[in-house]
Amino acid sequence: MNDFLPISRAEMEERGWTQPDFVYICGDSYIDHPSFGCAIITRVLESAGYKVAILSQPDVEEDAPFTQFGRPRLGFLISAGNVDSMVNHYTVAKKRRTTDFYTAGGVMGKRPDRATIVYSNIVRRLYPEAPILIGGVEASMRRFAHYDYWDNAVRPSILQDAKADLLLYGMGEHQIVEVADRLAAGEPVTAIRDVRGTCYFADRSELPDGYVECASFEKVRENKRSYAKAQAIQYNECDCATGHLLVQKHGDRVLVATPPSRPLAREELDRVYSLPYQRTYHPVYEALGGVPAIVEVEFSIIHNRGCFGGCNFCAIAVHQGRHVTSRSAESVLEEAERMTHNPRFKGYIHDVGGPTANFRGPSCDGQLERGMCKNGRKCLAPTPCPKLKVDHREYDDILERMRRIPGIKKVFVRSGIRFDYLNLDRDQTFFDHLVKYHVSGQLKVAPENCSDRVLRAMGKPGIASYRKFQRAFYQKTKQIGKKQYLVPYLMSSHPGSGLKEAIDLALFLKEEGLRPQQVQDFYPTPFSISTCMYYTGMDPFTLEEIYVATDPHEKAMQRALIQYFLPQNQQLVLEALKRAGRWDLIGFGPECLVKPDAKTAAALRARRQAQGEKRGQSRRPAGRQKGGREPWHSAKPSAGRPKSKKKR
């Protein structure tokens, strides 16, 4: 018998069980590593004394996989896996992906679309009286009525479609143990109505006092302004310190969301990461080539949770929360030391990070008592809050002590550095050590865009912050005599970005000498603020209109501009530049983005001739005019090329 939790009837019987307490149904292959929600929840339940069997990627065309364990004593736990099943299956262009990194062998198609709903409905049919609890990212982010990009419509709470009894949102450790204990004590699942971080349906007559209500499913489905207002309310109440009971009417019933669960205390987080994970995939997958998702995380360490950065396109704020908690130095270092005894470990820790690598504690002193700021106010953007606490000393100390552990050759921080936060630290010690010891040739950072208008819509700082970090990084790299590079994450077609902003981004890349091989298009995933902007065309906190590129062809042009240098993108780039009136960027000069084709060259000659004739009729001094606007870093639009001081 191995030390993984049982994934089959035979493995369950090897443990001497005749019935599990819970069956955890998951859309991913089973990986027993704390980077995966399935592993954390099942190990937490195990540590609380419960027997958990895992049903991984069952064949939904057959009943047998769902009945092999029989009816569990306490209930079924259902999750689509580490990623929303629709995001897992489809690109932003809604094309089917070819690889599933969370499935053995990378094989696509081992889970259904909308996996949580499909699994839950099968269980409800087979075991009508069994309690069903749904959770994970897919359920958490779809807990309210939400815009669904793939249907291009507003769907009801996933709890309604899944026909489940209870939805556990957020990370779930507190909720799952409390619910399990109450079920074990004989309390019916329909009576569990006061656990923080859960959702259920009720009659309005059953609602307690003190709730906050947002617009109904029917109203947000028909009215985008109502949708935006509801999103703002949901976001504001998604705070563990100040959140209220939140309700949303769905037909004759009311969806009830209890306030978010409080984040785990440091001691609790340490305990979660000390559980007996096998830290790899189940051996049954070895013959299939293993599970690709383990590669990046097997020898990486998560030291924190939550993110007060609050980027509008990110799910973390409404899933893990904006309150940052972190593991103790001893817990992190013990995990690193354990890695050195793993026969697969080669001496390199790939990453010591989390949602944001360099956050270790609350953003300000009053955060846990008074909660996070509401209505879209952020700790770092568009400018840093004066109350923000900036301190890298504990993180730097952990990395320094980790470097000294025998058997560890290198400790890397590969991504997740919030550079605008790092800029604010007057003590440069951590920055110096980061550049000297923890960069593996390239450091990935996320400026995301260069247009301050788009960055504001993203909830990110202005481009000047990235410029400051960039200068300091390369100066420090030069001082230690290394060749190291920044790799910026960039996003096209985010709300607020039109062709002008996309062209500015192309010019930014040209100026920086960057030629990205991959392009990230904005992906409207459920419950993010940016998705609300995409669907409604307005900022949910101000209700101001915001430009959104929804036309696939325009989005293709924005995407092509980021890779303007590729021959296959020439026609799209030419079309975008013409449409934006940026003929000055078509040509053979160093300032140009793309060379003209024969048709465009003829159009350019005709334009020059017409401009020459027009200038000849003008009383203004003759001079070669430059059309269009200045590059992205210019403060004002140009009226034309400045006159030369040299006499002609």
Q: Which residues lie closer than 8 Å to 447 by C-beta, 6 or more apart?
A: 419, 460, 463, 466, 488, 489, 490
What residue numbers does the annotated binding site for [4Fe-4S] cluster cover? 307, 311, 314
Query: 499-512 and 552-562 helices cross at what angle (nearest 10)?
Result: 10
Q: Is 182 helix (H, G, I), strand (E, B) or coil?
A: helix
The mean pLDDT of 147-174, rounded to a whole number, is: 97
The mean pLDDT of 21-32, rounded to a whole number, is: 98
Whole-number Cα distances in Å, 477 to 370, 427, 437 = 41, 17, 11
The mean pLDDT of 539-561, rounded to a whole number, is: 96
Q: How far apart are CA 126 and CA 129, in angstroms?
A: 9
> Please, are residues 118 and 177 in contact by the beta-carbon 8 Å criterion?
no
pTM of the entire predicted model: 0.91
Query: For 339-352, what is each residue's pLDDT tens digit?
Result: 999 999 999 999 99
At 611 the pLDDT is: 78
Mean model confidence pLDDT for the chain: 93
Confidence of residue 628 (pLDDT cuts 50, 70, 90): very low
Query: For 178-201, what is each residue's pLDDT tens digit?
Result: 999 999 999 999 999 999 999 999
At 245 the pLDDT is: 97
Q: Is 547 helix (H, G, I), strand (E, B) or coil?
A: coil
Which domains occur in the chain, in start order?
Answer: 9-196 (3.40.50.2300), 299-438 (3.30.750.210)
Q: Which residues lie closer than 8 Å to 56 by C-beta, 6 or more apart?
A: 7, 26, 28, 29, 30, 282
Place of tokens 């329909």: 190
SS3 annotation, 101-165: CCCHHHCCCCCCCCHHHHHHHHHHHHCCCCCEEEEHHHHHHCCCCEEECCCCEEECCHHHHHCCC
- For residue 500, give both structure tokens: 């002008």
Q: Which residues lie closer than 8 Å to 71 by C-beta, 6 or more apart?
A: 19, 127, 130
Exposure of 609 by Cβ count < 10 A (0-12 exposed, 13-18 middle, 19+ buried)?
Answer: exposed
At 2 the pLDDT is: 61
At 615 the pLDDT is: 67
φ, ψ of residue 56 to 5 degrees: the values are -100, 125
At 616 the pLDDT is: 66
Query: For 507-516, what is each residue's pLDDT tens digit?
Result: 999 998 889 8
What residue numbers does the annotated binding site cover? 307, 311, 314
The mean pLDDT of 302-320, rounded to a whole number, is: 94
Q: How far apart are CA 40 and CA 456, in angstroms?
A: 35
Query: For 258-276, what is each residue's pLDDT tens digit?
Result: 999 999 999 999 999 999 9
Which neighbouring-strand residues pair with 23?
A: 53, 76
